Amino acid sequence: MVEAVARFRAEHGYPPSIRDLQKAAGFSSTSVVASRLRACERAGLIVREARVSRAITLTAAGRALAALALEGEPASADDGRPEHAA
């Protein structure tokens, strides 16, 4: 998820909305994105301002994780967990 936030901000110059992240990550609903963002917030990877759209800021730890993910292209836009093998 932090990779998707970093990529969107780099491409557009402003933070993504939850719907932007839903589209970027290919999730079926915004509730999945909201859940992942809460997990990132609890992990100290992002900071969000309550009741403000596009108020997602990567912390130093979040920026470092996003940089690692972006270096290893191609990477998925989820929260960094390994994908399940089929």
Question: Does residue 22 have a pLDDT over 50?
Answer: yes
Q: What's the pLDDT at 69?
A: 82
Q: Identify the structural domains of the chain with CATH numbers, from first to last.
A: 2-71 (1.10.10.10)
CA-angle at 5, arms to 23 and 16, nearest 5°: 60
Q: What's the pLDDT at 75?
A: 44
Helix (DSSP H) and strand (DSSP E) numbers for the chain: 4, 2
Q: What's the pLDDT at 28?
A: 92
Q: Whole-angstrom Cα distance, residue 51 to residue 28?
A: 23
Nearest in space to 7 (alpha carbons), one of 55, 61, 75: 75
Q: What's the pLDDT at 73?
A: 60
Question: Does residue 15 have a pLDDT over 50?
Answer: yes
Buried b (16+ CB within 10 A) or exposed e, 46-57: beeeeeeeeebe
Nearest in space to 59 (alpha carbons), one of 47, 43, 71: 47
pLDDT (tens digit, 9 = 90+) per residue, 36-76? 999 999 999 999 998 888 999 999 999 999 998 888 765 44
